[in-house]
């Protein structure tokens, strides 16, 4: 038993060394990308893109289910985005609150006869289509029976009239030039770029005015601050690194843009998973690789979609349970790709990474909490080894989080107060000790639900008004 415990501790020790080294390598790759982006920033031609008649047109899809407190300011904020030509399509997915009534009163909606095309499948039957009386070509609302977020997005894809489709959460606030930034890769490489993703930031603690983030601040609540550090490491630097090496497999459903013809070609959003955003990107890789297409999936680090973050452990745990369940379903549905050289870096590098260092991480996390004390108790490992183990698992992880936070501050300088930066660094110090371990049971529960094949449910999310950032209770 001592030998088995000793071997187990050594394997877990090596696991933590490898996972943190991989994260640090992605941060290093992101640093190179940020340096290149900063040198090109003065020559990106955003103003030319805004004025050009050849700029691609965009359909903004906003799935909404019981979004009454935020839906009207969200639509106003989207309508004010700096972009030459786009439409907003709100898909009311069987809301039971006053979501539709607020939209009808604010925008003077008029019902119109409309034959819905069925280019991608949907199961929640559309009931009616409405347009704003003063802007019928740029704002539409479709009411449908409840079928979940993926089903709502499929209805939006069928209804979209433009070449590019951008998926945005109803509780999100986009930067003023976000559309120009996320469309830029399509304009630069129109024949190969099929999808782009933007950064998801946390709006908790920020000051919001007129549907815009006017002052970026660290929230006072520790749980929200830790999530900011986590988002910077995983969403900003991590996805930038994956994009740089051609291995991006996750574009957040809160802010992702796709070519509509590609969405139709691959069958739209999957209706049998809670991780519909990641599943869509992996399926695009799979189909286009199998057909021999030359394509690119790109991450844009400049534009930000600001979203409300969970403020209670219960809400956060539910969110991470859904995320990990979605990851498990994606890897299970596309397991022939894992380790398969036919799919290039996606099959040989990206998906094995997500299997070993994302899906299995919470299992190893809890296993380590049992194995190391047991090893000390039965004298299978020494106290010196325990210290090295702690440094590898938690000290090294802290270095990774601090590095990501430092890189974000050096590159974008979004937090302008030293107090906010200090709060972020303090959150990075404690993220690895306590936070990860608290979330691990929720994540394991998500994997268990995926393996059992339980029905996926979108769920109900409490909302607060955009202009009251300190009261947000979202659990996206």
Split at pLDDT 50, 70, 90, the class of 264 is very high
Q: Closest Cα partner for 349 from 340, 360, 359? A: 340
**What is the secondary structure of 269-336 as a DSSP string?**
S-SS-S-HHHHHHHHHHHHHHHTT---EEEEEEEEEEEE----SHHHHHHHHHHHHHHHHHHHHHTGG
CA distances from 218 to 7, 148, 202, 223, 464 (A): 42, 32, 9, 11, 18
Burial of 43 (0-12, 13-18, 19+ CB in 10 A): exposed
* CA dihedral of residues 323, 328, 334, 339 (deg, nearest 10): 110
The pLDDT assigned to 475 comes to 38
What local confidence, expressed as pLDDT, does residue 105 receive? 94
Question: In DSSP terms, which residues pair with 195 in a beta bridge?
Answer: 258, 297
Average pLDDT, the chain: 88
CA 384 to chain centre: 40
In a domain, 277, yes or no: yes
CA distance 122 to 102: 26
On whether residue 6 sits in a domain, the answer given is no
The 3-state DSSP class for residue 95 equals: coil
* Residue 471: per-residue pLDDT: 36
Res 257 pLDDT > 60: yes
pLDDT digit string (tens) for 336-345?
999 999 999 9
Between 196 and 209, the higher pLDDT residue: 196
Residue 59 maps to a domain: yes
Given this model, what pLDDT does residue 43 score?
Answer: 63
Task: Residue 418: count other Cβ atoms within 10 Å of its Cβ.
Answer: 8
Residue found by looking up tokens 């596309």 in the block: 334
Domain membership of residue 310 as a residue range: 19-357+456-471
- Is 433 a domain residue? no
Task: Single out the residue of 308, 385, 290 nearest to residue 344, CA to CA.
Answer: 290
Using CA of residue 233, residue 237, residue 241, residue 242, what is the dihedral sign? Answer: positive
Rounded Cα distance between 63 and 88, Å, is 11
Percentage with pLDDT > 90 across the chain:
56
Per-residue pLDDT tens for 320-354?
999 999 999 999 999 999 999 999 999 999 999 99
The alpha helices in 92-221, defined as continuous H runs, are 99-107, 149-159, 178-188
Token code pair at residue 332: 């299970």
The tens digit of pLDDT for each residue in 356-403 reads 999 999 999 999 999 988 988 888 888 899 999 999 889 999 999 999
Q: Is 333 left (phi over 0), alpha (psi -120 to 50) or beta?
A: alpha
pLDDT(1) > 60: yes
pLDDT computed for residue 42 by the predictor = 62
430, part of any domain: no
Instruction: Assign residue 216 the CATH number of its domain.
Output: 3.90.550.10
Whether residue 435 is contained in a domain is answered as no
Task: Give the pLDDT band of residue 469 (cuts 50, 70, 90).
Answer: very low
Q: What is the pLDDT of residues 409-465, one digit of tens each?
A: 888 888 888 888 888 889 988 888 889 999 999 999 999 999 887 665 544 445 555
Band (41; pLDDT cuts 50, 70, 90): low
Give me the helices (H) in 309-417, please. Answer: 313-333, 344-345, 351-353, 361-377, 383-390, 396-412
- Establish if 260 belongs to a structural domain: yes
Q: Which tokens is 424 given?
A: 């972020």
Tens digits of per-residue pLDDT, 165-177? 999 998 888 888 8
pLDDT above 50 for 267: yes
pLDDT at 117 over 90: no
In a domain, 234, yes or no: yes
In this structure, is the dihedral angle defined by the CA atoms of residues 300, 296, 254 and 24, taken in order, positive or negative? negative
Kindly tell me if the per-residue pLDDT of 44 is higher than 80.
Answer: no
Overall number of domains in the chain: 1
**Alpha carbon distance 362, 64 (integer Å):** 32
Place of tokens 């299992």: 363
CB atoms within 10 A of CB 410: 12
Running DSSP on this structure, what letter comes out for residue 85?
S
Q: In this predicted model, what pLDDT tens digit does every residue of 120-152 receive, in sequence order? A: 998 878 899 999 998 888 999 999 998 889 999
- 271 burial class (0-12, 13-18, 19+ CB within 10 angstroms)? buried
Cβ atoms of 225 and 427 within 8 Å: the answer is yes
Phi and psi torsions of 354, nearest 5° = -65, -30
Cα of first residue to Cα of last residue in the chain, in angstroms, is 44
């Amino acid at each position: 038993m001592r030998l088995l415990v000793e071997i187990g501790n050594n394997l877990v020790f090596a696991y933590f060394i490898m996972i943190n080294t991989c994260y640090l390598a992605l941060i290093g790759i992101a640093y190179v990308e940020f340096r290149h982006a900063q040198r090109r920033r003065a020559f990106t031609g955003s103003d030319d893109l805004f004025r050009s008649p050849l700029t691609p047109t965009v359909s903004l899809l906003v799935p909404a289910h019981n979004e009454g407190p935020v839906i009207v300011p969200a639509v106003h904020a989207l309508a004010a985005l700096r972009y030459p030509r786009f439409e907003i399509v709100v898909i009311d997915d069987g809301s039971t609150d006053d979501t539709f009534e607020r939209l009808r009163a604010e925008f003077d909606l008029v019902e119109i006869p409309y034959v819905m095309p069925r280019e991608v499948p949907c199961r929640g039957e559309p009931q009616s289509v409405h347009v704003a009386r003063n802007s019928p070509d740029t704002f539409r609302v479709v009411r449908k029976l409840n079928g979940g977020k993926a089903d709502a997005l499929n209805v939006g894809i069928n209804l979209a009239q433009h070449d590019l489709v951008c998926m945005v959460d109803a509780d999100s606030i986009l930067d003023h030039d976000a559309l120009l930034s996320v469309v830029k890769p399509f304009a630069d490489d129109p024949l190969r770029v099929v999808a782009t993703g933007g950064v998801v930031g946390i709006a908790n603690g920020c000051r919001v005015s007129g549907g815009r983030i006017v002052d970026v601040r660290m929230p006072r609540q520790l749980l929200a601050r830790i999530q900011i550090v986590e988002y910077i490491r995983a969403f900003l630097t991590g996805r930038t690194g994956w994009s740089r090496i051609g291995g991006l497999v996750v574009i957040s459903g809160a802010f992702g843009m796709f070519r509509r013809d590609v969405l139709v070609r691959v069958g739209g959003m999957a209706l049998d998973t809670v991780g519909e955003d990641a599943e869509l990107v992996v399926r695009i890789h799979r189909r286009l690789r199998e057909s021999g297409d030359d394509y690119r999936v790109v991450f844009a680090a400049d534009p930000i979609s600001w979203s409300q973050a969970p403020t209670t452990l219960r809400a956060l745990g539910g969110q991470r349970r859904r995320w990990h369940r979605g990851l498990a379903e994606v890897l299970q549905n596309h397991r022939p790709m894992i380790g398969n050289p036919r799919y290039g870096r996606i099959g040989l590098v990206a998906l094995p990474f997500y299997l070993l260092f994302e899906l299995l991480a919470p299992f190893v996390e809890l296993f380590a909490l049992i194995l190391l004390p047991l090893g000390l108790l039965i004298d299978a490992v020494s106290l010196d080894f325990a210290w090295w183990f702690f440094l590898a698992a938690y000290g090294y992880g802290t270095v990774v989080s601090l590095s990501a936070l430092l890189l974000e501050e050096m590159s974008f300088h979004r937090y302008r107060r030293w107090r906010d930066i200090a709060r972020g660094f303090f959150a990075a110090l404690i993220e690895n000790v306590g936070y990860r371990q608290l979330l691990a049971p929720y994540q394991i529960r998500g994997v268990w639900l995926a393996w059992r094949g339980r029905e996926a449910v979108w769920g109900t999310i409490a909302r607060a008004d955009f202009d009251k950032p300190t009261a947000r209770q979202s659990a996206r």
